[in-house]
Amino acid sequence: MNLALFDLDNTLLAGDSDFEWAQYLIAKGVLDREVHEAKNQAFYDAYKAGTLDIHAFLEFQLAPLARHARAELDVWHREFMETHIRPVIGTAARTLVERHLSAGDLCAIVTATNSFVTGPICREFGISHLIATIPAHEGGHFTGAPRGLPAFREGKITRVEAWLESLGLWWGSFEQSSFYSDSLNDLPLLAKVSHPIAVDPDDTLRAHASQHGWPILSLRVYDASAQK
pLDDT score recorded for residue 223: 42
pLDDT score recorded for residue 221: 63
Active site residue 16: no
Q: What is the mean pLDDT of residues 123-149?
A: 95
Reported as a single tens digit per residue, the pLDDT across 31-52 is 988 888 888 889 989 988 989 9
Q: Hey, what domains does the chain have and what are their CATH numbers?
A: 3-227 (3.40.50.1000)
Q: Between these two residues, 221 and 198, which has the higher pLDDT value?
A: 198
Reported as a single tens digit per residue, the pLDDT across 150-186 is 999 999 999 999 999 999 999 999 999 999 999 999 9
Reported as a single tens digit per residue, the pLDDT across 95-119 is 999 999 999 999 999 999 999 999 9
**φ and ψ at 214, to 5 degrees?**
-75, 145
From the list 29, 56, 71, the residue with the least C-alpha distance to 145 is: 56
pLDDT score recorded for residue 51: 94
Query: Distance of CA 153 to CAs 36, 150, 188, 195, Å?
Result: 25, 9, 6, 18
HSE (side-chain half, CA atoms, 13 Å) at 213: 2
pLDDT score recorded for residue 227: 42
Where are the strands (E) in the chain, listed by range?
3-6, 106-114, 129-138, 141-147, 177-181, 195-199, 216-217
The residues that bridge with 138 in the sheet, in sequence order, are 141
Residue of 9, 16, 200, 202 marked catalytic: 9
Q: What is the mean pLDDT of residues 4-16?
A: 97
pTM (two decimals)? 0.92
Active site residue 9: yes
In the chain, the percentage of residues whose pLDDT exceeds 70 is: 96
Q: How far apart are CA 210 and CA 16, in angstroms?
A: 24
Q: What is the mean pLDDT of the chain?
A: 93
Confidence of residue 226 (pLDDT cuts 50, 70, 90): very low
Sign of CA dihedral 80, 19, 124, 150: negative
